[in-house]
Structure 1
Amino acid sequence: MANRTVKILASAGLMYAARRYFRDWGTTKDESGGTLPGDELLSPPVLQATEGVTIDAPAELVWPWLVQMGQDRGGLYSFEFMENALGLRYRNADRIHPEWQHLDVGDTVRLVPPGWLGLPRGVVMTVSEIAAPSLIVLRAAPPGLPWEMVWSFHLLPHWEDRCRLLIRSRLGLRHPGEFVLAEIVGPARAFVTRGMLLGIKRRAQGPTT
């Protein structure tokens, strides 16, 4: 019993250390620690992570890729083979689809199909704020999810022909057990987010870069 407890604590410690390392992957201290639109939607205690990437394309060319995100639209541009191995039925787009270029406050973005892991509606987030070509804020809350969650996407111009893409996730926590669980799954979330950032960067920059 003691041996098992030691193994569990060691595993949890390793995952926590990994999460601490990857939590703000690719961002500066100002980017990860600063306030961004959408933060005000959740009050503490909140578990927050911010990741970013520099894209060699102006924000206007990156924006259409963000607008068409969704499990039933353009995908999330991450690791499709892994998403589908989990039964998420993703097909990540490699071009801009005009039919998916409208997104407004109150619209929904589906992340997980209905019925996945017993969730009748899957996972759907609602657009709380949108400002082209710089900002999309998505929000989910009970009863659709067990927790309140905000997922925001920020395009910041960097000279005339480049931009920074920041993805911030904020998870509202109510009980100590939720905090522990969120810490443990943090590295997996960071892995998928990094895949998204690199997938969007590759598509926006085009095949010649």
Structure 2
Amino acid sequence: MIGYRAIVPALAAGGYVVLVRPRLLRWGATDEEAARVYPGDDLVSEATAQSTMAVTLPAPPERVWPWLVQMGHDRAGWYSWDRLDNAGRPSAERIVPGWQDVKVGDRMITMPNGQSWFTVGMLDEPRTLILRADLEIPGGKPFDPRKTYPYAYTEGIWAFHLEPLPEGRTRLVVRTRGRGKPRVLDRVVAVLAGEPAHFIMQLRQFQNLRRRLETDTDPDRRAHLATTSETTD
């Protein structure tokens, strides 16, 4: 006979998968946005996981774009929970001209030691920025997907799609796609840890981007920032 202590966790897990997880995977996105095929989706073929989150921001794509391309641990940070994803270093509160020159193939460092990073996989200013991560398991060492795949790995994209809206606003749609091997282990880790973590961090990034854009409404201040040649935050 199955004991009460076994039933409760099983019910909780079932409730999460059926009721909670679908909402996390498409928070803020419309049915059309969640179903749409975006540029760069094919960078991860045969993906076993996908999420689509979206938010409306109070500025046009041309003003949102500079915040995104300057991301990176050694640059502006990630505008999320800095103690969790930026080694406690505060994310930038301003646009830094020296961090705006980004091209496909560039690295956005994710760790203080510089041994892990996102690679810029696609760039279409100011509409599409796609970052990809290809990591060996265990250890999380980056590998080159153009060469031989390791036995165990995870690969995925973190894609930012900006669409102009009336009244100078932007619809920011963030799409993730991923896969890995061994497949069963990859799916278990993604469902139990990866997807909830992404939801928490992405939601925080949305909130912080909105705050930065809402407070940066002074045209004189924007002009000043555009000509400031800082290279550190």
> Is the pair's TM-score, using the shorter chain for normalization, greater than 0.5?
yes
SS at match of 1:112: coil
1:51-85 superposed Cα distances (whole Å, 9 cap, x missing partner): 1110111110111100111122111111224446x
| Whole-angstrom CA distance in 2 between matches of 1:72 and 1:162 | 29
Cα 1:97/1:32, change in 2 over 3 Å: same
Q: How many residues align?
A: 200
Q: 2:57 aligns with which of 55, 58, 81?
A: 55
Cα 1:133/1:180, change in 2 over 3 Å: same
The share of aligned pairs that are identical, in percent, is 35
Opposite residue 140 of structure 1, the aligned amino acid is: A
Q: Show the 5 A alignment for 1:100-119.
A: 100-114=99-113
In the alignment, structure 1 segments of 5+ residues that lack a partner are: 115-119
TM-fit CA distance, 1:15: 4.0
| Whole-angstrom CA distance in 2 between matches of 1:161 and 1:91 | 28
Superposition TM-score, scaled by structure 1 size: 0.85
Higher relative contact order, chain-length normalized (CA < 8 Å, sep 6+): 1
Structure 2 equivalent of residue 9 of structure 1: 10
Opposite residue 108 of structure 1, the aligned amino acid is: R
Q: Show the 5 A alignment for 1:87-102.
A: 88-102=87-101
Q: Aligned pair 1:32/2:34, yes or no?
A: yes
Contact 2:128 2:162 in 1 (8 A): yes
Superposition TM-score, scaled by structure 2 size: 0.77
In the alignment, structure 2 segments of 5+ residues that lack a partner are: 143-152, 219-233
Q: 1:177 aligns with which of 171, 185, 190?
A: 185
Q: Aligned pair 1:137/2:130, yes or no?
A: yes
Cα 1:176/1:168, change in 2 over 3 Å: same
| Whole-angstrom CA distance in 1 between matches of 2:91 and 2:72 | 9
| Whole-angstrom CA distance in 2 between matches of 1:18 and 1:62 | 30
TM-fit CA distance, 1:177: 2.4
Opposite residue 159 of structure 2, the aligned amino acid is: S
| Whole-angstrom CA distance in 2 between matches of 1:8 and 1:181 | 17
Structure 1 equivalent of residue 69 of structure 2: 67
| Whole-angstrom CA distance in 2 between matches of 1:130 and 1:208 | 26
| Whole-angstrom CA distance in 2 between matches of 1:5 and 1:28 | 37
| Whole-angstrom CA distance in 2 between matches of 1:149 and 1:54 | 24
Contact 2:29 2:53 in 1 (8 A): yes
Structure 2 equivalent of residue 198 of structure 1: 207
1:122-149 superposed Cα distances (whole Å, 9 cap, x missing partner): x311111111111111112244353011
Contact 2:118 2:133 in 1 (8 A): yes
| Whole-angstrom CA distance in 2 between matches of 1:179 and 1:5 | 22
| Whole-angstrom CA distance in 1 between matches of 2:185 and 2:192 | 11
Structure 2 equivalent of residue 155 of structure 1: 162
SS at match of 2:154: coil
Cα 1:10/1:178, change in 2 over 3 Å: farther
| Whole-angstrom CA distance in 2 between matches of 1:45 and 1:7 | 32
